[in-house]
Amino acid sequence: MRISVIGTGYLGTTHAAGMAEFGHHVIGLDIDTERVAALNKGRAPIFEPNLDPMLERHTGSGQLRFTTDHTDIADWADVHFLCVNTPQSPSGAADLGQLRNVRDQLAPLLTRPTLIILKSTVPVGTAAQLRQEFRALAPAGDGVDLTVNPEFLREGHAVEDTLRPDRIVLGVEDERSLEVLDRVYAIPLSDDTPRVLTNFATAELIKNAANAFLATKISFINAMAQLCQATGGDVTELADAIGFDERIGRAFLNAGLGFGGGCFPKDIRSLAHSADEHGVEVLSNFIGSVERINDSQRTEVTELTVEHLGGDAAGKRIAVLGATFKPGTDDTRNSPALTVAEQLHSRGAEVRVYDPHARLSTRDNFSQAATAQDAVAGADIVLHLTEWPEFRSLDPAVLAPLVQSTIIIDARLKLNPHTWRAAGWTLIQPGRVDRTPAC
């Protein structure tokens, strides 16, 4: 099939490459000329495992190319995937400006029957309105169909999640669309991937609910971590134990610094906004609690750090290990690690950050170290804030002579307490119990 993918961020780039991998002919479109030039050379705008080789292969064979020109895709493609960003606006609602731009540029060029597939995460009600607007603007009129097909890809696993999705959700309100969608997804459907067929509103809400539920699990276990800390309980053992119950499950019960990134924070805020708009305050209040717990995890670590610095962070040197919102990505959007670093900087501390992948912006108020050793040199305290695997293999005995003071806060609860304590470190894991035998 001939497929266009509009928007080449995380979602669009991976999706365009994935569609080519499924054997389709694909054109990706973006208004950013530099990005398009790099993509045509097989280079992704993001760090994502296994993406570059797939891009190189398909741009090399001519099966996949990228353009900035809407006329290039309008007549050529049978279906158009909308993968543009829907960022958070100041009110908390999703900003649909990029979707409206695509509508204004593309719709007047649609002269023959076409299927628009809405993949961007949107508030409930968007698809119904967008279909009406496309039909009103397109010369093909009612020949333009629309489908809601949310994505569930995780950064760091985007290629795998695209090629082997755990479900394909289709909000379909036109008979014609389904036959086209079955051809688009013929490969994963032939592997028995579950297909959920529903209406527009449900498909939009499925995506919102999936993110909100996962964020809720994280905030729940983090609130339990705070209670464990206050009472002498151990949150990791607690999570393991309740996770054995199949109705609960162990996934997304890792207590720590909470969630960040480009999706959860903005998507749950947008859901709360929709709930308010529709008079469902019980849901917006609920999500508000999830957000408050998440924010409090960051503040707790900042306060704990200051406490271990004798109550005053001014002039103290703080080493921060990790800057991305989670390991396996170079994304620092809404990163819990950087919030803590920023809060400590505003208390007068000198913060030095090391991350294996993130490049910090020059606007950031901290220096960036080239190695973990470089970051900890002369530090009054070390903070482990993003659980990159390389931090687990650091040798605490090698780091000890480099620091001013051997105190480390493991906010992600992933370091081995025995090896760190055996090397003379005071290791603090909020919500965990110290079981190191006294010597």
User: Active site includes 83?
Assistant: no
Q: Are 320 and 337 in contact (CB under 8 A)?
A: yes
Measured over the CA atoms of residue 336, residue 214, residue 288 and residue 171, the dihedral's sign is: positive
Measured over the CA atoms of residue 83, residue 89, residue 92 and residue 95, the dihedral's sign is: negative
Asked if 417 touches ligand UDX (CB under 6 A), the answer is no
Dihedrals φ, ψ of 284, to 5°? Answer: -65, -35
Among 220, 264, 420, 425, binds ligand UDX (CB under 6 A): 264
Contact characters 225-254, ligand UDX, x per CB under 6 A: ---------------------------xxx
CB of 9 or CB of 261, closer to ligand UDX: 261
Asked if 261 touches ligand UDX (CB under 6 A), the answer is yes
CB of 167 or CB of 195, closer to ligand UDX: 167
Residue 270 amino acid letter: S
Q: Are 406 and 375 in contact (CB under 8 A)?
A: no
List of residues 6+ apart from 418 with CB closer than 8 A: 436
Asked if 165 touches ligand UDX (CB under 6 A), the answer is no
Asked if 290 touches ligand UDX (CB under 6 A), the answer is no
CB of 261 or CB of 431, closer to ligand UDX: 261
Asked if 308 touches ligand UDX (CB under 6 A), the answer is no
Contact characters 313-342, ligand UDX, x per CB under 6 A: ------------xx----------------
Size of interface with ligand UDX, in residues (CB under 6 A): 20
Asked if 9 touches ligand UDX (CB under 6 A), the answer is no
Find the distance separating the first CA and the last CA of the chain, reported in whole Å. 69
Question: Could you tell me which stretch among 81-89, 145-153, 277-285, 427-435 binds ligand UDX (CB under 6 A)?
Answer: 145-153
Alpha-carbon gap, residue 439 to 436, rounded angstroms: 9
Tokens of 432: 């965990």
Q: What angle do CA 230, 235, 240 make, to 5 degrees?
A: 160
Residue 350 CB, shortest distance to ligand UDX, in Å, is: 26
DSSP conformation class of 8: -
List of residues 6+ apart from 164 with CB closer than 8 A: 188, 191, 193
Residue 392 CB, shortest distance to ligand UDX, in Å, is: 15
E-state strands within 178-291: 195-198
Asked if 159 touches ligand UDX (CB under 6 A), the answer is no
Coil/strand/helix, residue 258: coil
Contact characters 200-219, ligand UDX, x per CB under 6 A: -----------x--x---x-
DSSP conformation class of 417: H
Catalytic residues: 263
Q: Using CB under 6 A, list all residues that contact ligand UDX.
A: 151-155, 211, 214, 218, 252-254, 256, 258-261, 263-264, 325-326
